[in-house]
Structures are given as structure tokens and as C-alpha cells.
Chain A
Amino acid sequence: MASDDKSSLKHPHRSKRRFFQTKTFRLISMLVLTFSYFVVELVVGYITNSVALVADSFHMLSDVISLLIAIVAVRIARRSSLKNTYGWVRAEVVGANINTVFLLALCLTIIFDAIKRFVQPERIEKVNLLLIVGSIGLGVNIIGLFLFQGFHGHSHGGSSHGHSHGGGSHGHSDKKSSHGHSHKKNSHGHSHENNSHEHSHENNSHGHSHENNSHGHSHENNSHEHSHENNSHGHSHENNSHEHSHENNSHGHSHESNSHGHSHENNSHGHSHENNSHNQTDRSSEESVEINNFPELDGLSNRFDRHSTRAFQEAFAECVQQTDEQSDTVTEMEEGNNNDRNAAKPKKKASMNMHGVFLHVLADALGSVVVIISALIIKFVPNPSDNPKHWTIYVDPTLSVIIVIIITTSAIRLFKDTSYILLQVMPKHLEVNTLKRQLLDNVPEVHSVHELHIWRLTDDKVIASAHLNRKNLSNYMHVADKVKKFFHSIGIHSITIQFEHDKTIGTDNQSTTALIDPNNPERVPGDCLLRCNPDECEPQTCCTVKSERANTLSNDNAMEIYSITEPNNYEKSVQTQTSVAPSIQDERL
């Protein structure tokens, strides 16, 4: 792993001389390769009148198409536009989605083909020609794999690498206690994971969360207690997160806004990293500290597991990588449920678009391997009786089906990821009700939250919008800043918050009947103050009044806020109770 090479890729398209390392360059060079091979195959196939060659050439053409889609997506994503207020950054996600669907469709046709050949086996002739074509195809595709490996393969390798680095840098940054340095270190450590520059920042924040976590842990001697908790109950992360966020809050307030933001970072990614960063500190300090044995052992064995599997993976053309990664996470699950998120996260850092292309090329390479294997078998296994239904005939379709299954599993995962983004699903690590609760707790000036929408523009750009009700708008900029910081702390950096000043709230908190607005009896406290007339525009709003009411969360009782702020108390029942309250009133009216 040429780490210096890769780290320089962080800003690929900014410097022209780095062009040969950009996505576009890789895509274009692969495109030229495949396209020329396509033309050669087509011409040769036409001259020799070989249908197999022509068919294979069209397979190459499908590769060319998927590469074209990826290139177009990359190009479009860079464009700015008047038509699209977000720019076209999503093009890469859509491109990846299209590529996966295309790949799945091709897999489907391969399966149909295989079934057809099971039913009516075709004799394979010109075995030598097949061998030659197969090996050249394999060569081309292996070059392709190497080209795209940087965008995809390293993300896996990096996950362990980066973490151990992070552990190391933790010590340094600890001593220096300068955030700038830790930034650099961490981004170095993680630069293996992704070479596309968009993602490098996400990594930074990762680094911080790690750092901060281990920071807190190692300084306070509670750390081992925490680790025990984590090891025993995987699901206790909410509670943990809570404690941490509180700790960090106090930290943050004493520090500058900079450290404040970062310590908050713990909240978001923290839960998932909690275990891992803990293990890191254990791992990195295992020789020196040696106090607490069993989590270390856990961590160690786990690490060996990971390494052995990784060696296997790299040998195995990275195809089973994802499934392995999953099995990795499964082993880690015993240690703590949260880790699987952690393992999944760095993987997603790789550009989805490139991942899609990678899968295509991988499918092709495996296809070539199948062709070679079946040709070899047919060539060298004697078929004395010249039986047209000899078993060697069935090698090719069987292997094809197996490969299709392998490819399909990873393609479906990518399809799911991209579709979730396109369907405006929230990021996985956020939970909407918890988030509302946390917001209300962290910013007590806010009375209620409604129309909270969180979605991802691309994999790492999270966008939120919310309407907040306040009793009065005093101290506006201060509160707005607090809300902004809250969202910043959970990794959402593009937000639009609409503050509403509800005069009816302030008058009487306790009696619910007094909350009815005399001007508009239909209105329920907590409703949006700036809403169209519900009858007219209902079908054109994103949420109906009813669903909006059900999703409103408010602090009706000032005392309640503080009672709930007690750590480890984020029970679902509390949330639902408070959130349901307005709709009950609604029915009563």
C-alpha cells in the first residue's frame, strides 16, 4: 500500500498534474482498454465467424456502457447548474444505482442463459480460441481491478490499518494537546481508506471522535467500566452515548467552540466507535499498561481474526471481500453490537460510483476465469464416448451461476445503499425520535420540534431542516447558534431551521385547554405556525397535518425537561408519550 501516493489523492482534480490519479483518468483508461478489446473481439469474431467471440465482445460492450455511465456521472457531478439548487452531486449516486441495476439485469440474463444451457447443452468448439479470448479478457479486467482497487479495495484494508494508526496518533495528540496536529495524523491514518477527496473530511471527524473518545477514557479511570458495559450489553450504546454527550458538553462549554464541536462529534459516531476506540487504546497500550486483561484478549483475537481473513481476501481477488467483512463484523458482534457500524462505515467511504464500476469489472474478470476453467476442463478431461451430455459441458453454466450469486449479493447491497440515499432515508446512525429528544434537551429554549427532516444528498452530505417552536424569540441568534452546533455535533452541516414564535405557549403551560388559539380553533399547540391552508394544499405538502402532529415532540412541562435530562433515561416510552400528547388533544377537540 503506497500510502504517500494515496494520501496525495485527496484533492485529485484540483491539480492538473495529478490527473493520472483521478477517477476520470482511471475510468477513461479502463474505457479505452475495454473498448479497444471490444472492437478487436468483434472484428476477429466476424472474420472467424465465431459467435462465441461476438457474444463475448458484447459482454465487453456492456462493460463499456457501465464505464460510460460512471464517467458521465463523475462529469455531471462536477457541473453546477441553475436548474438544480443542490448542484448535480447526486449524479454519482444515481450513476451507481443505474450501474448496479444494469449489472443485476446482466446477471439475470446470464442465469437465463445458464438455465437454457442446462436444458439444451451446447457443444463447445474452438477451445483454444476460447482460452485465448478468456485470458486476454482476464488480463484486461485484472488491470481494471487494479485501477479501481484504490477506490474500493483499500477501503477494506484501511479499516484496520486506519484504526491502529488512529490509536498511535492518539498518544501524540494527547501530549501536544493541539487539535491541528491530531487532524493531520488522523487524516493520514485514514487516508488509506479513501482516495477520493470528498470523503477525507468525514475521516477527519472520525479521527476526532476516536481521539476524543479514547481521550476521555484514558484520562478518567472509568474507562474500564465503560468497556465492561460495552462488552456485556451491545445495545447499551444509547445510555453510553448519553453519558458521553454530557461529559462532552461540559467539556465543550469550557473550551472554545472548536473543541466543543468536536467533542460533540462523539455523540454521533461515538456510539459506534465507543467499543472500537476503547479497544484501540487497549491494543496500543497493551504492553505498557497491562491492567485489564480480558478486553485485550478479546481485541487481540479479534485482530488476528481480521488479519487472517484479510490475507485470504486479498488472495481471493477481493470478491468475497464484502461477505468476509460481514463475517468479520459478525465476530465482532459478540464483542459489542455497535462495532458492525464501525466496520461498515469506512467501507462506505469509497465512492459509490466507483464501487459500481468495480463490481462490473469484477463480474467480468470472474466471468473470464470461468471461461478459462471450463475451456481447460473441456480440453484436458477426456470425453471418450463423445457424449454430448458429458459432465464437462455443465461446468460452465454451473460456475456462471455461482459467480452470478456472488456478484448479486454485493450488487444488491450497493443497490440498497444507493436507493436509500435516493429515497431520502436518514443516515443509518441517526434515529429521529432520539434526535428530537436530544435536541430539546440540549437546547432547552426550544419548546417543540416539528417537520424535522433529515436526508442525505450524497453518501456523506447530510441535510436537515426543522421547524422549532419557541415561547419567545429573545436571544435569537444565541439559540440559533446552539441549534446549529447541535446539528454540527451529530455530523449534519447543512441545516435550515425555521423558528416560530408561538404566543400561545407562553401564557399557560399546565392547562391544555387554554392552549387553543382563539383565532384558529383548528390549531393544536405544536402545530406549524406557517402552514398553508390544509384543505387546499395537503396533497402537495410532504407531510400531512396528521402525520406532522404525530411527529411533533414538545417540552410541555418545563420540569420534565430536567428530569429527562438525567443520563441513561432515553426510554422510548417517554418519547412516544410526549409526542403523542398533541394528537390526543386533537381528538378531544
Chain B
Amino acid sequence: MAHHKHSHQEGKSFLHASKTCRLGTVLVLTIGFFFVELICGYIVHSVAIFADAIHMLSDSGALIIAMVSVRISKRKSAKNTFGWVRAQELGAMVNCILLMSLCFTILVQAVKRLISIEPVERDKLTLYIVVGIIGLAINLMALIILRGDMAHGHSHGSNKNKSKDKHDNKKDEDSVEIGEGEHLCDDEPADTVVNHGHSHDSKPSTLDNGKTKNVDKKSEKKKRKGLDGGQMNIRGAFLHVLNDALGSVIVVLAGLAIRQWPDKAWINYIDPIASLLMLSMIVVFTIPLLREAALVLLQTAPMHIEVADLQKRLVEQVPGVLAVHEFHVWQLSGSKIIASAHIRCHNLSEYMAVAEQVKDFFHKEGIHSTTIQPEFIDQEIISGTVDDKECILECLKDCSMNTCCGQPSSYVKQRTPHLGARSNTDTDNTAQRSQTDTVIPTIEIISPTRSNTYIE
């Protein structure tokens, strides 16, 4: 990876400017070229150049979306209690869909041209090639600038041809998965920021993966959690520009081929077929990003967190927690993970201690924004009115349509029905584990006992 180091040092001053600055540069480039093409097209009356200009415009649209979402994500608002941090994920998704629908229109064009061949006019061939080459140059520049954000562990080849491009992009996807926290432009501290959450993780396999560059599929998956909204955003813009660059490559290749073999019949099929190939490639690149952004927006738990397992461990590992229900873990943006849970405790006196421990538990799992609702059950257990799975603080039944889950999933410590069945080892265990507790609750006879079997 010497290559990569080299280019990093080379372009450090510029390539590591702020995200907005980079996007702005690329935007100016594309818009400038758009006007150039527009004027050229008007002068030589070429519809093809107009079409290309419009393509450029869609590119700058994507860049504007990316920029706006970066801006929005920094804003504060009274309307949004989380701030707008998610704007970048949304921007990435919108860009993906825009790109896909653009692909769709290109597909339509290509199929149309396959059905009824439009021969290219020979006299304008040179013009095509020239425009294609300029467009390619501009797009390559844009790619290199945007790549600075994502360049983190792969070679910077010059994307002179398609296969190389593909190669590079594959690598991009790998390297991008190393989250860089908020400091997208820093190199070294970034890894530590993201991996920090994991350094406490019970699974050591995820540790330090950020720095290993070998392509291990499984560890790659683990690292995926670090994919920041900002990177998604930039990646969306990047894919747009890449799409454009490939388009220019195809134009140039088709033009050259026509010039080379002007009389062959198959020559007219080169352009649409190459377009189709490019389309499928772009779609293949876009879908993972789209999926990623959509998953965040759908409130899924981050990849590396096994929700059921976490819930189980919360009950098992934290003494004093009898049951967990309404357990929700989701990803706000990037590495910001939010959890909320209703836990059931014995009684009030041990509450703050238990809460502390639960907080600590989540902290070790890399979840740092938590809300834990305690519920105390001693009275209800005596009367036997409350089921383990039910939340004590529930709305009236007619609100169940508007709750987030019709059927709350709960994870409950099974209680043995006999009051005297509590074993001594268990209580000892409790005392040991909660040594740090200032308040060790006096365990009442009626309080439910803990055992190691669980029901779902």
C-alpha cells in the first residue's frame, strides 16, 4: 500500500479539506463544464452534447443534495429532538435513488437504440470524442477529490479504464467500512474513535479490525457498523460522478471504434451495449449503499449488535434486573446508537444502583445514549395481577394501534413459583456481583428468585 501512502502525503493539504469544501470544488467543476457544454452544444447544434450537458446537470444536482445534507446535518432545531444528524443518511438514500432512476432512463435510451439504430453522424465524430475526453478529465478530477474522503487504505490508481475503476471501487467499499467518526479527514485518530466503543466488547474479534487491511469477509461485516452517515453521503455523490466518468469512457470508446472501423455493421451496437454494461455495474455498486442507508432509516439495530443476545445478556449479567421488555436498539446515524428499555426491578431502594449497572452494561456494548425505565413489581407480584411480559405502565388498550409495537417482545427471567425455592448460591452470587453497590437490598421472602433458565 505504498502507493496509497504516497498519494496521501502528496495531496494532504488539499484532499483533506472539509467535506463541504471538497463537494463545493467538484460542484463548481461540474457546473462549469455544464455551461461549457451548453454553449458548445448551442454553437454546433448538437443534441448529443445537450444531452451530455443535462447529464452533468444531474450530477451537480446530486452534489448539491450531498452538500445540503451536510449543511443540514450540522444545524440545530427545536423541531427535531435529535438534531438533523440523519440528513446525511437521507441524502445518501436520495442520491442512490436518483442515480438508479437515471440508470433507468439510460436503460430506456439504450434499449431504444438497440431496437432502432441511430447511426452517428460521421462529421461530428471528432466533436463527440473531444467532449467525451474533456468530460472524462473533469470527472476524473472530481473522483480524485471526492475520493480523498474515502481514501483510507487502498491504492490510488488512475482510473484510466473501466476494469481499474471497478477494482478501485471495490476497494473503496471495503475501506469505507472503516468508520471515521466525525473526523472524516483525519487519518489515525479516526480509527480509535470508532473502535473505542468496541474495545470493551466481549467479542475481541472485532477489536482493531479497522487497521487490518486484509479482506476478511466476516470482519468486514463487523466493521460495517462504523460506516458514517457522512461517508454514505459522499459515497452517493461519488457514485454519481463515477457513473458520469464511465459514461464519458463509453462515449470516447464508441467514438474511437467508429472512427477505426467505420463500415462495420456492429459498430452501432457498441454504445448501447457498453451503456448497459455500465448500468449494471453502477446498480451493483449502488445497491449496497442504498441498503445501508435504508437500514439506518428503518431503525434497524446496527449490524454488529445481536438484539436478542443483548437482551438476554442484559438480564443475565446485570443482577437486579428481572425482566426486560420494550427493548429497542437503533442507530441514529453512524456510530450514534440509541437504546431504550423497560426493566423490572425488585424494589425502589436498589433502583439507582441497578440503573447505574445497566448504563454501564450498555456502555460496554458501545451504546452510549440510553433511556431505561424502571418498573417495580413487588406489590403486583403479591397480588399476581401482572404478567411478566406486560409493561406495568401501559396505556389503555385502545392505544395499542399507536404504540410502536403491538406485541412487545420481552425477555423475562423465569420465576420459580415456590417462594422458598431460592437457592443460596444465587443470593451469594448477587452479593458478589453487586459488591460496588452502596445499597444492597434486603431480599424479601416474597421477591422472585433468579435462576438460569429463561423463557422468551
Partner-B contacts on A (CB < 8 A): 45-46, 49, 51, 54-55, 58, 61-62, 65, 81-91, 94, 97-98, 101-102, 105-106, 108-109, 112, 115-116, 119-120, 183, 198, 200-202, 204, 257-258, 261, 419, 422-426, 431-433, 451-455, 457, 460-463, 465-467, 473, 476-477, 480-481, 484, 488, 491, 493-501, 529-532, 536-537, 539-543, 547
Contacts and interface: CB of A to CB of B under 8 A. Distances in A.
A257 B341 CA distance: 25
Given A65-B104, A85-B330, A425-B79, 5 more contacts: A85-B299, A86-B330, A116-B50, A529-B352, A532-B368
Contact of A98 (B97, B341, B370): B97
Nearest to A110: B105
A493 B399 contact: yes
Nearest to B309: A82
The 9 closest A-B pairs by CB, nearest first: A201-B401, A105-B101, A537-B368, A496-B340, A465-B371, A493-B399, A58-B108, A85-B328, A494-B404
Interface stretch (B124-132, B163-171, B213-221, B390-398): B390-398
Interface stretch (B82-90, B261-269, B423-431): B82-90
Given A424-B80, A540-B336, A54 B111 contact: yes
A171 B368 CA distance: 53
B363 interface: yes
A497 B338 contact: no
Interface string B88-123: 001001100110111011011001100110000000
Contacts of B301: 83-85
B437 interface: no
B58 A498 contact: no
B30 to A, nearest CB: 16
Contacts of A85: 299, 301, 307, 327-330, 409
A46 B112 CA distance: 10
A49 B327 CA distance: 60
Given A201-B399, A536-B196, A422 B372 contact: no
Contacts of A201: 398-399, 401-402
B80 A496 contact: no
A422 B363 contact: no
Given A84-B301, A105-B97, A461-B403, A498 B351 contact: no
Instruction: Name, among A86, A88, A462, the residue most crowded by chain B CB atoms within 10 Å (CB to CB).
Output: A86
B289 to A, nearest CB: 14
Interface of B: 45, 47, 50-51, 54, 58, 61, 76-87, 90, 93-94, 97-98, 100-102, 104-105, 107-108, 111-112, 115-116, 181-182, 193, 196-197, 294, 297-301, 307-308, 326-330, 332, 335-338, 340-342, 348, 351-352, 355-356, 359, 363, 366, 368-376, 379, 392-396, 398-405, 409
Nearest to A496: B340
A424 B182 CA distance: 20
Contact of A105 (B80, B102, B294, B368): B102
A84 B329 CA distance: 8
Given A496-B326, A496-B371, A90 B297 contact: yes
A334 to B, nearest CB: 26
A116 B86 contact: no
A46 B115 contact: yes
Given A116-B50, A200-B401, A501-B351, A431 B78 contact: yes
Contacts of B84: 423
A500 B355 CA distance: 9
Contacts of B379: 477
A106 B366 CA distance: 42
B345 to A, nearest CB: 10
A105 B112 CA distance: 20
Given A83-B301, A90-B298, A473-B348, A541 B369 contact: yes
B348 A94 contact: no
A106 B108 CA distance: 12
Contact of A537 (B54, B108, B197): B197
Given A90-B299, A496-B340, A498-B372, A425 B80 contact: yes
Nearest to A203: B401
A62 B86 contact: no
Contacts of B104: 62, 65
Nearest to A261: B396
Q: What is the predominant secondary structure among interface residues of chain B facing chain A?
A: mixed
A453 B81 contact: yes
A491 B395 CA distance: 10
Instruction: Name, among A198, A432, A465, A531, the residue most crowded by chain B CB atoms within 10 Å (CB to CB).
Output: A465
A84 B86 contact: no
A462 B298 contact: no
Contacts of B403: 461, 493-494
Contacts of A530: 355-356, 359, 370, 372
Nearest to A77: B298
Contacts of B76: 547
A51 B118 CA distance: 11
Contacts of A65: 104
A484 B393 contact: yes
A493 B395 contact: yes
B294 to A, nearest CB: 6
Nearest to A492: B402
A546 B294 CA distance: 30
13 contacts: A82-B308, A83-B301, A90-B299, A105-B98, A108-B58, A109-B101, A119-B47, A419-B90, A422-B90, A452-B81, A455-B82, A494-B326, A542-B85
A460 B399 CA distance: 11
A537 B337 CA distance: 11
Given A58-B108, A463-B404, A542-B338, A423 B87 contact: yes
A223 B94 CA distance: 49
B276 to A, nearest CB: 14
A463 to B, nearest CB: 5
